Amino acid sequence: NAGVTQTPKFQVLKTGQSMTLQCAQDMNHNSMYWYRQDPGMGLRLIYYSASEGTTDKGEVPNGYNVSRLNKREFSLRLESAAPSQTSVYFCASSESGTSGSKQFFGPGTRLTVL
């Protein structure tokens, strides 16, 4: 099992450009998450999908959109990138959307917006 995979690993964008970060899991998990990680701060939840067909905002959703394409895949889109979105992005999945379900993380995407 590959677990949680993310593409790309690295990306450099110019301000105003758009891009989509891809995430897939092969553990048949119901819930998937997108986090961002910035120096000196903990992981912050951007969006999550408790189950296929549903998505909800997290702590820092502004500037992002998500799509739960199917049970395996959850993508994060930046419509018009800004320097404040320079960060490392992690996708995660869990068996259920309840708080007692441990999360499995992907390797991360390092995004720089110039």
Partner 1 sequence: ILNVEQSPQSLHVQEGDSTNFTCSFPSSNFYALHWYRWETAKSPEALFVMTLNGDEKKKGRISATLNTKEGYSYLYIKGSQPEDSATYLCASPRLGSARQLTFGSGTQLTVLP
Q: Is residue 25 a contact point for partner 1 (CB under 8 A)?
A: no
Q: Is residue 53 a contact point for partner 1 (CB under 8 A)?
A: no
Q: Is residue 1 a contact point for partner 1 (CB under 8 A)?
A: no
Task: Tell which residue, 69, 71, 76, 68, has the closest CA to residue 36.
Answer: 76
Cβ 71 vs Cβ 26: under 8 Å: no
What's the start-to-end Cα distance of the chain, in Å? 36
Name which of 38 and 82 has its Cβ closer to partner 1: 38
Out of 50, 71, 72, 86, the residue judged to bind partner 1 by CB under 8 A: 50
Q: Is residue 26 a contact point for partner 1 (CB under 8 A)?
A: no
Q: Is residue 43 a contact point for partner 1 (CB under 8 A)?
A: yes
Dig out the tokens for 52 from the structure.
């296929």
φ/ψ of 2, rounded to 5, equals -80, -20
Cβ 46 vs Cβ 38: under 8 Å: no
Binding mask 64-93 for partner 1 (x = CB under 8 A): --------------------------x---
Contact partners, residue 79, CB within 8 Å, separation at least 6: 18, 63, 65
Q: Is residue 106 a contact point for partner 1 (CB under 8 A)?
A: yes
Q: Which residues bind partner 1 (CB under 8 A)?
A: 4, 31, 35, 40-45, 48, 50, 56, 58-59, 90, 97-108
